[in-house]
Chains A and B, each alone.
Chain A
Amino acid sequence: MPDGSYAHPQQRQFNPYTENGGTILAIAGADFTVIAGDTRQSEGYSIQTRYAPKVFRLTDRAVLAVNGFAADGNMFVKKVKQRLEWYRHAHAKDMPLRAIARLIQTMLYAQRFFPYYVYNILGGIEEDGSGAVYSFDPVGSYEREACRAAGAAQSLVQPFLDNQIYFKNQQLPPGQTRPLHLSLSDVLSIVIDSFTSATERHIEVGDGLEIYVVLAKGRGPQGLEAVRGAQELTTNAEGDRVFIVRRELKKD
């Protein structure tokens, strides 16, 4: 670190990146996907703002969460949205989810030598109606998964998800079987508990929580009717549906 001493050679350089904290998470169900992120944006020990969204609706079936360097994250989302608009102009329909995932890979790798410092998680409904989560590294390596957490509290949340979603390191009493798929209300509880717990123990997580729920076409609203404050964002009533749920998180 340059410190003005004459003892050793020094150099200053502009650092184009910074870490803005926060955590994101996505879980895929049989016919739904949940994508969530806290709303705190910080730099070091300071809070820049208590409300900066990190999760964005791309289409009625795709939601993108971006975490890492906020300026890169916000710009990247804008560019993805532009590409989706060009697709709509050319084909008069929305891009399928796995095509969006591949597109994100090519957009990230195009900046291989000056990367977007962003961990992306794309969640939504596939063409076959199943819930899907795709997670990316900053240069475009990606994979479809059942669940993924990224960001500041990733190391706290991901093991919890491995235990609760994949049932890792859990042994059931003999004779009992695990359910094949989790219900939406179970998944929402896991998401909220992940964030309240991460907020307790990680300084960069807190203030607020935004949860996006994407339901496959034809799947009824069961699991959402009981949820306080759920708002629908769907634009086309004939297809998949997107909802948002907001919750408070501790501000300390």
Chain B
Amino acid sequence: MYRNTYDSDNTVFSPQGRLHQVEYALEAVKQGSAAVGLRSKTHAILLALKRSTGELASYQQKMYRIDDHVGIAIAGLTSDARVLSNFMRQQAMSSRMVFNRPIPVNRLVSSIADKAQVNTQEYGRRPYGVGFLVIGQDKTGPHLYEFAPSGNSYEYYAMSIGARSQSAKTYLEKHFESFADCTLEDLIRHGLHALRESLQQDKELTINNTSIGIAGPASVHEKDVPAGGSFRILEGEPVEVFLKSMVPKETAEAQAAEAPAAEAPPDGAAPAQAGDQDVSMAE
């Protein structure tokens, strides 16, 4: 009821103890098209759905390379994303120059989280309107982080952000325990299945609207990847072979309907979900 009177100044709490401007910023992230991240023992990957304004238009870039070992997928205001990714690149380069080593991924994510927090506490500044999924490899292995304009960041085994991302999250929740030992090809297949869940009716993943970001050693379908595996973005033709590895939708629905009947599901509500699009979960 009081939401409107307490939501124009960033520095004013509502009586319920909320900062509405920050929550509106999180809404902006939810308006962006979906991005999915997941990791195994050896790799961390990102998959993003690129949006286009129409058949004649190009597709909006969803991924940025930050350094050899770090890449991000964005959801939300693209202009804010450019500015923040530029800042991340500066931080990464500065770390190499000053300390002669690549920046640890958690340190990099903390630096933008702290930067974003400033905009939630200073009068006259608006929060950033973009969220990131950050993947990287460092001395402690592969990592996946979510960054939100609230200034929160958290590490995940798998995560999705953006429009209809809850459907993708449901898929990830169902399968994440098998990710750790996946090959890169299987990991990408899981990621594409998760991303597919976030599509609207009648839409499908194509080489034009799908981006794959990989941190880790090369897959069998890639060539020219330096040892150790620098972060790289696959778009267009190179994505085709991975799209083909997906299980077709009709078979997937049938499998999902069978499997819960064969296992004994802890909650009986599971079966119909896997094939539905635009399912909003009430847990």
Contacts and interface: CB of A to CB of B under 8 A. Distances in A.
Interface string A57-82: 00000000000000000000010001
A236 B232 CA distance: 13
A78 B97 contact: yes
B256 interface: no
B97 to A, nearest CB: 6
Q: What secondary structure prevails in chain B residues at the interface with A?
A: mixed
A82 B93 contact: yes
B65 A235 contact: no
Nearest to B223: A237
Interface in B89-106: 89, 93, 97
B224 A89 contact: no
B41 to A, nearest CB: 26
Contact of A237 (B65, B93, B97, B224): B224
Given A236-B224, A237-B223, A237-B224, A89 B97 contact: no
B97 A235 contact: no
Nearest to B90: A86
A238 B224 contact: yes
Interface in B12-42: none
A85 interface: yes
Interface string B226-257: 10000000000000000000000000000000
Given A82-B97, A85-B93, A238-B224, 9 more contacts: A78-B97, A82-B93, A86-B89, A89-B64, A89-B65, A89-B89, A235-B224, A236-B224, A237-B223
Interface in B183-238: 223-224, 226
- Number of chain B interface residues as a range: under 10
B73 to A, nearest CB: 16
Contacts of B224: 235-238
Interface string A72-108: 0000001000100110010000000000000000000
Contacts of A85: 93
Contacts of B64: 89
Contacts of A235: 224, 226
14 contacts: A78-B97, A82-B93, A82-B97, A85-B93, A86-B89, A89-B64, A89-B65, A89-B89, A235-B224, A235-B226, A236-B224, A237-B223, A237-B224, A238-B224
A71 to B, nearest CB: 15
Nearest to B64: A89
Contacts of B97: 78, 82
A235 B224 CA distance: 7
Contacts of B223: 237
Contacts of B89: 86, 89
Contacts of B226: 235
B98 to A, nearest CB: 11
Nearest to B226: A235
Interface string A224-238: 000000000001111
Contacts of A86: 89
